[in-house]
Every structure is written in structure tokens, then in C-alpha cells.
């Protein structure tokens, strides 16, 4: 087993464990994410036996909020990556399959979106629309599909010329059937890799937005807005800023290692 | 590469910019709550004054008219007036540019100085302990959230150790190079980390590809030293794709670093963007987005030009 393989497996196990813990947290934690202990309101209290990660200035249990925040952060990351992959695959497949004017138009569109700085654009949209979670997912996914589209397009340009496609066409397969049944399965490897990497960049983008105050709004916790809330207390209560930051870091790192391992495993044949 | 090609590419950027401007205009103006929303609850602003303001800013005209007027004035260099301060948008941006250029330029220099040696080292020592450690570090550099890294550095270097100022551009009253440098260290480090990581990864894989080619084996067979082959023969070719990546990243030097500038209270255009977001200052936001897009398009063009300039096999028609 190569280095990349081992790292990818470790990453996968970590991500599964993390996903499991954020799913079960409501049944395990004695607190809810917005439960305020009225005696602890005023300023953050350090970790103790009742609150392992301490409490914030609103008297809320930090450990519980970090794992509830993980639910939102992971869900937004996965859903946004799914949107980006669907949009990117559709656009790339159509452009690569039909070529000509369709290709030109779709690639121009890709160029336009790629020529606007990403973070400011996402900030602008989410700041002006103040979106709820579904709109946030659509915004992030709707602005990060371009890499996938380019990869899928180049795959389809190659596949289009291959003999099995000509054969299927000669047997009477229509465009839709050619794309979905014959060509798409052959492009799944690069799509899987870019979908995996998209999860990492979506999580990063959501936390950046929420950190700047334009993403998910409190009291709903995400790793990004927990860091936003922790930053004024960084000197007095550093324990608030450690767990969310470490979890974003570890999650994105694991996703990137997983993507790298998948690329190694899936694309080594060519 | 010909002047005709350059002209063609520059002309090609025009419809691209028009499409971007239209897209941005629609986004900004379809959003609920206009730029004058902030005045609605202000008792000292009468409905009549509000109406005057709407007319003054042209917000009462139909959207297509607003767009054409805006486009016309953009082309004339009049980017409108900031809704928050009432000053010209161009003036607001120009005032903030030096700080952004200083930070971006420093980060760029830092990235080059670190990424190139690291890339060569990891490719040359492939699969060694050094390579593994540096590879892990560069994966970390791409994966670490910059705002958190910034907070941790502030905690460690400013609050705990007291070595560096936590934020800001300069100490009020103090002046001089030392003070400016002390303020520059942390933001420049944070801003350069991602580019260091990605450039060194690119150089590593590009150099590894080149090292497998026949002419490198020939160079070794002729008795050149390992370092000689890498530096004299392999590096030149390996740098070609890397230079393209670097050119593309140059855009961020101009368009600013939103997160880094915000966390470190650095008075550049990235922070101006966030401040304008808070005030829904449409003219400033539009100006900044257009500036960022122009920078990206120019960086793309630069990448193509540099690519052609250093690789004689590339010929653009």
C-alpha cells in the first residue's frame, strides 16, 4: 500500500468518525446548541467537568455547539459540492458532446464566472441576499462548478472520438442515451476526484463566509461563525477558538488527502 | 507571438468584461433592500429627503437605464460616489491600493523565495523523509483556514509573546521602517502560505515529470552532477507550467485579500470590500468587483504571454 493510499484510508476513517459524531450529538450531549446557562452569562468560562470545552459569553456549552456546528458545516459542504458536481458535469458533458456553438457558448459562460474573483462574488451574493441554508448551498455550488465542467468537457471530447461511441451511435442510441449510458460512466473517475475536492473547498468557503459574518447566522452554529464569535475573546478565552479551527483544518486536510488518494487509485491506469 | 495576437486577446476581453458587468449589475440591483435602506429608520432623514437621495443616485430610473448610465460613467472613469462617505469611488479605491499592493507584493516575494527552493528540494529528494514532511506541510498549507491561522498567530505572537502588533497598518504617532515591517510580518505570512503550498506542489510534480525524460538521462550519462542537471537542464523546462500558475495568482495582489486584510485590520481594498458590504455601498462594491475582474483577465492574458515567451514551441496565431 502506497503512502497516498494509507493517508487516504486514515482520512476516510477520520471523516466517517466525524460524520457519525455530528449525527449522534443530540442524543449524547446533555445540552442543546442554544441552551443558555443563565448563571454563566457575561463572559466565557474555561473548560471544566460540566463543560469540557468551556462555555461562551452567552453561557452556551462550547463542545455541543462545536459538534452541532459540524453538522451544518459538513452538510453545507457536501450539499454544495453535490450541486457544483451536478452543474459542472451537465455543462461539461453538453459542451464536450455537442461541440460547436453549444461548446463555445458554455465555455464562454465558464470564462465569465471564472473571471470574477470567487470569494468577493460569494460574499456579495450572500451578503445582499442574506440567504437561508438552501440558498447558501445553491450560491456556493452555483459558483464553484467550473473546474468540474472543464474536466468533464475534456473527457467527453476524447470519448466522443472513440469507437465504442461510434458503435453505439450506429446501433441507434440517441444523444441522451449516449451521454448518460455510454460516456458518463467512463468519466466517473475524474468526476469523483473533483467532487471530493469540491467538498473541501465548499467547507472552506462556507466557514470563510460565516467567519466574516455573511454566511449562516447565530444562534445556528457553524465552525465559521463559532470562530467569528470567538475572535473578540481570543486573548481572554482562547479555548473557544481552538476546536472549530482545528476541526475545519482537519476536515479539509482529510478531504484533500482523500481526493489525492482517489486520483492516484482511479487515474493511475492512464 | 505577434502584436495581432495581443490585440485579439485584448479585444476578446471586452465582451467578457461587458458580460461580467451586466451580471454584477443584475446581482447588486435585484437584491432586496436598496442602498438607501440604512436611512429608512433614521428619524432625521425625512421621506422627502429620502426621495431626493433616490433621484440623486438615479435609483428611481428603470434598471436598464441605470445600467447604461453606470456603464457610460464607468468607461469615462467616473465610478460614482460612495453611499457611505459621499466621496468618489475611484478616490476610495486609490487611497486603499498602496496598502494592498504592499501586502500583496510582500506576500508574493515571500512565496517565490520559499516555494521555488521547496519545490526543487522535494522533487530532488522524492520519497525521502524530507519530501514526506514538506509534502504534508504543503497539504496543510492548502487546507488550513487562513482566518483561524491569523487568529492563532495573533494569540501567540502578539498576545502571549508580545513580539508583534496584533493588527493595523502602523502605530499611531510612530513611523519608520521598523514599525511598518512589524505590522507587515503576520499578514504577509498568512497571505503567502497558500501560494507557497500550491506553487511548490506544482513545481515538484512538474520537475518530477521532466526528470523522467530522455534528455535528462543523457545529461546524467554525460557525467553532470545531480544538482547541475536539475538547475541547468531540468528546472528551465519544469518552470514553464509553474510560471503560468504564478501569473494567474498575480491577480490576487491587485484584487486584495479580503480575509487577511479583515482579520489584521489592514487598510487595503479587501477590507474596503467588507466595509462596503456592511453599508450596502453598491457603487464601491461594483467598482471593486470590476477591478478584481479586470485584474483576473489581465493575469490570464499575462499567463498566456509569459508561456509563449519562455517556451519557443508555443506559437499563437
**Nearest Cβ partner of A249 from B148, B159, B296?**
B148
Does residue B24 sit at the A interface (CB-CB below 8 Å)?
A: yes
Per CB-CB distance under 8 Å, the chain B contacts of A255 are 143
- Alpha carbon of A30: minimum distance to chain B alpha carbons (Å): 28
**Is residue A94 one of the residues assigned to a domain?**
yes
The per-residue pLDDT for B57 is 67
C-beta of residue A126 within 8 angstroms of C-beta of residue A67: no
- Alpha carbon of B223: minimum distance to chain A alpha carbons (Å): 33
Beta carbon pairs, A and B, within 8 Å: 118
Q: What is the pLDDT of residues A13-63, one digit of tens each?
A: 999 999 998 888 778 777 777 777 777 676 777 777 776 777 777 767 777
C-beta of residue B20 within 8 angstroms of C-beta of residue B293: yes
Q: What is the pLDDT of residues B135-161, one digit of tens each?
A: 889 889 989 999 999 999 988 888 888
**Is residue A54 one of the residues assigned to a domain?**
yes
CATH number at residue A259: 1.10.3720.10
Q: Which H or E run contains B43?
A: none
**Is residue A33 one of the residues assigned to a domain?**
no
Q: What is the CA radius of gyration of chain B?
A: 24
The per-residue pLDDT for B317 is 54
**Is residue A34 one of the residues assigned to a domain?**
no
Is A1's pLDDT higher than 60? Answer: no
- Please provide the average confidence, as pLDDT, over all residues in chain A: 86
Structural domain of residue A113, as residue ranges?
3-25+47-269
The per-residue pLDDT for A57 is 73
Does residue B262 sit at the A interface (CB-CB below 8 Å)?
A: yes
The per-residue pLDDT for B16 is 87
C-beta of residue B299 within 8 angstroms of C-beta of residue B37: no
Q: What is the pLDDT of residues B247-301, one digit of tens each?
A: 888 887 776 689 999 989 889 999 999 998 887 788 888 889 888 888 888 888 8
Q: Which is more confident, A182 or B37?
A: A182
Q: What is the pLDDT of residues A79-93, one digit of tens each?
A: 999 999 999 999 999
The per-residue pLDDT for B112 is 93
As a whole number, mean pLDDT of residues A248-252 equals 95
Is A67's pLDDT higher than 60? Answer: yes
Interchain proximity B274–A241, CB inside 8 Å: no
**Is residue A31 one of the residues assigned to a domain?**
no
Is A105's pLDDT higher than 70? Answer: yes
In 3D space, the residue among B215, B243, B209, B241 whose CA is nearest the CA of residue B229 turns out to be: B215
The per-residue pLDDT for A160 is 87
Please list, in sequence order, all residues whose beta carbon lies within 8 angstroms of the beta carbon of residue A43, skipping any fewer than 6 positions away.
A57, A233, A236, A237
Positions of chain B with pLDDT under 70: 1-2, 31-44, 57, 174, 255-256, 314-317
CA–CA distance, B34 with B32 (Å, rounded to integer): 6
In 3D space, the residue among A199, A225, A193, A196 whose CA is nearest the CA of residue A212 turns out to be: A225
The domain total for chain A is 1
C-beta of residue A98 within 8 angstroms of C-beta of residue A250: no
**Is residue A75 one of the residues assigned to a domain?**
yes
Is A141's pLDDT higher than 90? Answer: yes
The per-residue pLDDT for A263 is 87
Is A225's pLDDT higher than 70? Answer: yes
Per CB-CB distance under 8 Å, the chain A contacts of B147 are 207-208, 211-212, 227
Please list, in sequence order, all residues whose beta carbon lies within 8 angstroms of the beta carbon of residue A95, skipping any fewer than 6 positions away.
A102, A103, A106, A107, A149, A153, A156
**Is residue A41 one of the residues assigned to a domain?**
no
A contact set with B (CB within 8 A): 3, 108, 111-112, 114-117, 119-121, 123-125, 127-129, 200, 204, 207-208, 211-212, 214, 227, 230-231, 234-235, 238, 241, 244-245, 248-249, 252-253, 255-257, 260
Does residue B184 sit at the A interface (CB-CB below 8 Å)?
A: no
**Nearest Cβ partner of B292 from A117, A128, A253?**
A117
C-beta of residue A236 within 8 angstroms of C-beta of residue A50: no
Is A270's pLDDT higher than 50? Answer: no
- Alpha carbon of B130: minimum distance to chain A alpha carbons (Å): 14
The per-residue pLDDT for B85 is 83
Confidence grade of residue A74 (pLDDT, cut at 50, 70, 90): very high
Q: Which is more confident, A245 or B179?
A: A245
- ipTM given for this complex: 0.86
Interchain proximity B23–A207, CB inside 8 Å: no
Test mutation, B93, B100, B147, chain A, max A CBs within 10 A: B147
**Is residue A145 one of the residues assigned to a domain?**
yes
> How open is the CA angle B159-B163-B169, to the nearest 5 degrees?
85
- Alpha carbon of B31: minimum distance to chain A alpha carbons (Å): 6
In 3D space, the residue among A121, A118, A124, A126 whose CA is nearest the CA of residue A215 turns out to be: A126
Interchain proximity B296–A128, CB inside 8 Å: no
Does residue B292 sit at the A interface (CB-CB below 8 Å)?
A: yes
Amino acid at each position: 500500500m502506497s503512502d497516498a493510499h494509507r493517508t487516504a484510508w486514515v482520512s476516510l476513517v477520520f471523516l466517517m468518525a466525524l460524520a457519525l459524531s455530528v449525527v449522534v450529538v443530540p442524543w449524547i450531549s446533555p445540552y442543546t446548541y442554544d441552551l443558555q446557562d443563565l448563571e454563566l452569562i457575561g463572559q466565557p468560562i474555561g473548560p471544566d467537568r460540566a463543560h469540557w470545552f468551556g462555555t461562551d459569553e452567552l453561557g452556551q456549552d462550547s463542545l455541543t455547539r462545536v459538534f452541532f456546528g459540524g453538522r451544518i458545516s459538513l452538510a453545507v459542504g457536501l450539499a454544495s459540492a453535490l450541486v457544483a458536481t451536478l452543474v459542472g458535469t451537465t455543462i461539461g458533458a453538453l459542451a464536450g458532446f455537442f461541440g460547436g456553438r453549444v461548446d463555445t457558448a458554455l465555455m464562454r459562460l465558464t470564462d465569465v464566472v471564472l473571471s470574477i474573483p470567487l470569494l468577493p462574488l460569494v460574499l456579495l451574493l450572500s451578503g445582499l441576499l442574506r440567504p437561508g441554508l438552501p440558498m447558501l448551498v445553491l450560491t456556493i455550488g452555483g459558483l464553484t462548478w467550473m473546474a468540474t465542467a472543464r474536466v468533464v468537457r475534456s473527457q467527453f471530447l476524447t470519448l466522443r472520438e472513440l469507437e465504442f461511441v461510434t458503435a453505439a451511435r450506429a446501433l441507434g442510441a440517441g444523444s441522451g442515451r449516449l451521454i448518460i449510458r455510454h460516456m458518463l460512466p467512463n468519466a466517473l473517475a475524474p468526476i469523483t476526484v473533483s467532487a471530493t475536492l469540491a467538498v473541501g473547498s465548499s467547507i472552506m468557503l462556507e466557514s470563510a463566509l460565516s467567519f466574516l459574518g455573511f454566511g449562516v447566522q447565530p444562534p445556528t452554529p457553524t465552525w465559521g461563525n463559532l470562530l467569528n464569535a470567538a475572535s473578540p475573546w481570543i486573548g481572554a478565552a482562547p479555548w473557544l477558538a481552538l476546536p472549530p479551527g482545528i476541526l475545519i483544518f482537519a476536515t479539509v486536510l482529510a478531504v484533500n488527502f482523500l481526493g489525492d488518494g482517489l486520483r492516484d487509485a482511479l487515474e493511475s491506469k492512464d | 507571438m505577434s502584436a495581432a495576437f495581443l490585440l485579439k486577446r485584448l479585444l476578446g476581453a471586452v465582451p467578457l468584461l461587458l458580460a461580467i458587468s451586466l451580471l454584477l449589475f443584475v446581482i447588486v440591483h435585484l437584491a432586496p433592500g436598496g442602498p438607501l435602506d440604512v436611512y429608512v429608520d433614521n428619524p432625521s432623514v425625512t421621506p422627502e429627503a429620502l426621495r431626493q437621495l433616490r433621484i440623486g443616485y438615479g435609483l428611481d430610473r428603470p434598471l436598464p437605464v441605470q445600467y447604461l448610465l453606470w456603464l457610460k460613467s464607468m468607461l469615462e472613469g467616473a465610478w460614482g460616489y460612495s453611499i457611505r462617505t459621499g466621496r468618489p469611488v475611484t478616490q476610495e479605491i486609490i487611497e486603499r491600493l498602496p496598502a494592498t499592493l504592499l501586502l500583496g507584493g510582500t506576500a508574493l516575494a515571500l512565496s517565490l523565495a520559499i516555494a521555488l527552493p521547496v519545490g526543487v528540494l522535494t522533487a530532488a529528494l522524492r520519497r525521502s523523509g524530507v519530501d514526506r514532511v514538506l509534502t504534508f506541510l504543503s497539504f496543510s498549507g492548502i487546507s488550513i483556514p487562513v482566518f483561524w491561522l491569523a487568529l492563532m498567530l495573533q494569540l501567540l505572537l502578539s498576545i502571549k509573546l508580545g513580539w508583534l502588533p496584533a493588527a493595523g497598518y502602523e502605530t499611531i504617532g510612530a513611523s519608520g521602517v521598523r514599525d511598518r515591517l512589524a505590522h507587515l510580518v503576520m499578514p504577509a505570512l498568512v497571505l503567502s502560505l497558500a501560494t507557497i503550498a500550491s506553487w511548490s506542489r506544482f513545481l515538484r510534480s512538474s520537475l518530477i515529470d521532466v526528470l523522467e525524460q530522455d534528455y535528462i538521462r543523457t545529461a546524467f550519462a554525460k557525467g553532470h552532477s545531480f544538482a547541475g542537471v536539475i538547475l541547468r537542464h531540468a528546472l528551465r523546462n519544469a518552470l514553464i507550467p509553474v510560471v503560468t500558475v504564478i501569473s494567474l495568482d498575480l491577480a490576487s495582489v491587485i484584487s486584495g485579500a479580503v480575509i487577511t486584510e479583515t482579520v489584521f485590520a489592514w487598510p487595503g481594498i479587501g477590507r474596503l470590500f467588507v466595509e462596503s458590504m456592511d453599508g450596502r455601498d453598491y457603487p464601491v462594491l461594483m467598482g471593486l468587483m470590476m477591478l478584481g475582474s479586470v485584474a483576473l483577465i489581465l493575469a490570464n492574458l499575462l499567463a498566456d504571454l509569459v508561456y509563449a515567451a519562455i517556451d519557443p514551441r508555443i506559437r499563437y496565431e
